[in-house]
Structure 1
């Protein structure tokens, strides 16, 4: 089965700062100083939320274009929290500078509940690991 996406990460020798290569894009990740990092890049959970935010915005823009709806300037604000049992919760708030009807908002909220990344996060993914050859 062909991969949907590919990414790799390599250490930099500076505590938790790492370089990520996703497709042909290079990103950095780090932990905040309070966790021993340098704060030189988004932390892993920042990327977790960012991937959901990106999928949210792109999916809704595609849907609105197909429907001929003008989303105008669109914004999705996401917050990740952990409850007393340690379970993660994501809350998404959607905003547009266009006067969308209640029916349009209702449909957009239905669509956003089923974006590809939303489904992957909600349903989970099987994760396997293997040892590779030396660098």
Structure 2
């Protein structure tokens, strides 16, 4: 289970976030009226996907005792009309063979956050 809390106050678009016991800040870019004090919401979404991808691949490689020295995940969110897309590019560091690299790319398609985004998730909203 994961928990987060977001609060926007007097500073236009600045959001103070608490995720677990970590404090973060989100904001809109200056061209959208914010002060760019932190990542914008879609940047946070991409960061979550990148973190999950990196962690999952590192865990998998460790369990297999594969020489994965590092994972770099570059992400881009684009929208064209009603069509939305995330492009993910993996750079795998270490002395991996082609089969290991292919397997890690396959695993990336099934990380928990990847599966959540691909499947969609129900969101309920209540007023307090």
TM-score norm. by structure 1 comes to 0.91
1:10-63 per-position Cα deviation (integer Å, ceiling 9, x unaligned): 123110001001110110010001000001110000000000000000000000
Structure 2 residues without counterparts, runs of 5 or longer: none
2:32 is the counterpart of 1:35: yes
Q: Whose strand fraction is larger, Structure 1's or Structure 2's?
A: 2
Matches within 5 A, 1:62-101: 62-83=59-80, 85-101=81-97
Q: Structure 1: any 5+ residue segments left out of the alignment?
A: none
Q: CA RMSD in A?
A: 1.0
Q: For the Cα contact (< 8 Å) 2:92–2:101, is it kept in 1?
A: no
Task: Answer yes or no: is 1:14 the counterpart of 2:11.
Answer: yes
Residue correspondences, number: 128
Residues in 2 aligned to 1:59 and 1:72: alpha-carbon distance in whole angstroms = 14
Which residue is 1:107 aligned to?
A: 103
Where does structure 1 differ by over 2 angstroms across 4 or more consecutive aligned residues? none
> Structure 2 length normalisation: TM-score?
0.96
